[in-house]
């Protein structure tokens, strides 16, 4: 819960404070009170979805607290299947089996068991790991917690002249494992940085930008609820910390 509060304060409040077209404060109060009365839950979605703007054209009460959506997801999906989404290695395997295009996972790096090459299922040393990365013809690689979310704990390494770098700083074996496991995460996956469409790239060249499609399976049909464009904030290399 504390982590979610920190994210809300760092990601959602700054855009609110910067907004020039906010509704009158009394109207915001009325909206927030109506949301609280209707859902009986802190109405942080009011800030998250920009309902406070004069240009907002939707119905305020149509915007559910994200936590209620998460509760619904937990209720309608069996608990044992959660690992299929939480574990990125399992998720990738399921998507590949269903012929869905995915970004491949080349290696898994474990705090205790070292570096595992997935295709051969063998553990390799750091020098061999860097050498094998060179075979993939990619300049940048993402190192992601295998069970992380919202962009937390992700590192972007550059492969240059047979060495791994972050912002021109070379990471040898000790420094590499030191920064990777400096936080609570126990295991990472290694994926190539994708080359995105030139229009998406132009929006924010320093980050990976995405168009996210929201759908709902209803009565044996698929309803498309909408699409959301997410881009980096000018400082990040992923869109998850965009504002």
Which CA distances in Å does 217 have to 32, 210, 220, 221, 223? 30, 22, 7, 6, 6
From CA 188, how far away is CA 111, in angstroms rounded? Answer: 9
Query: Token pair 């060249």 is at which residue?
Result: 205
From CA 181, how far away is CA 194, in angstroms rounded? Answer: 24
Q: Decide: 176 and 158 in contact? Cβ < 8 Å.
A: no
* H-assigned helices in 146-189: 173-180
DSSP state of 137: -
The pLDDT tens digits along the chain (243 residues) read: 677 788 788 888 999 999 999 999 999 999 999 999 999 999 999 998 999 999 999 999 999 998 898 898 889 888 889 899 899 999 999 999 999 999 999 999 999 999 999 989 999 999 999 999 999 989 999 999 999 877 788 999 999 999 999 989 999 999 999 999 998 999 999 999 988 889 988 988 888 888 999 898 889 999 998 998 988 877 677 766 533
- CA terminus-to-terminus distance, the chain: 20
* H-assigned helices in 98-234: 126-133, 173-180, 198-203
Phi, psi of 8 (to 5 degrees): -60, -45
| pTM attached to this predicted model | 0.76
Cβ neighbours for 101, distance < 8 A, ≥ 6 positions apart:
none
Query: Token pair 């855009």 is at which residue?
Result: 15
DSSP H helix total and E strand total for the chain: 10, 10
pLDDT at 196: 85
Cβ neighbours for 74, distance < 8 A, ≥ 6 positions apart:
none
* H-assigned helices in 145-197: 173-180
Of the candidates 107, 112, 134, the residue with the CA atom closest to the CA atom of residue 122 = 107
DSSP state of 134: G
């Amino acid at each position: 819960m504390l982590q979610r509060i920190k994210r809300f304060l760092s990601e959602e409040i700054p855009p609110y404070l910067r907004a020039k077209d906010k509704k009158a404060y009394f109207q915001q109060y009325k909206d927030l009170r109506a949301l609280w009365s209707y859902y009986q839950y802190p109405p942080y979605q009011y800030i998250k979805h920009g309902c406070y703007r004069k240009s907002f054209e939707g119905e305020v009460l149509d915007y559910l607290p994200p936590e209620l959506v998460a509760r619904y997801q937990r209720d309608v999906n069996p608990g044992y299947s959660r690992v299929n989404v939480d574990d990125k290695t399992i998720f990738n395997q399921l998507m590949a089996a269903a012929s869905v295009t995915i970004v491949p996972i080349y290696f898994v790096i474990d705090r205790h068991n070292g570096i595992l090459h997935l295709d051969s299922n063998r553990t390799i040393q750091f020098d061999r790991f860097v050498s094998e990365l060179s075979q993939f013809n990619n300049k940048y690689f993402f190192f992601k917690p295998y069970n992380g979310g919202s962009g937390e704990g992700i590192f972007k390494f550059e492969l240059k002249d047979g060495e791994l770098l972050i912002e021109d700083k070379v990471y040898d074996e000790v420094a590499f494992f030191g920064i990777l496991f400096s936080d609570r995460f126990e295991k990472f996956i290694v994926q190539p940085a994708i080359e995105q469409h030139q229009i998406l790239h132009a929006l924010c060249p320093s980050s990976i930008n995405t168009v996210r499609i929201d759908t709902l399976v209803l009565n044996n049909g698929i309803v498309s609820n909408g699409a959301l464009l997410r881009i980096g904030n000018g400082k990040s290399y992923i869109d998850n910390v965009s504002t």
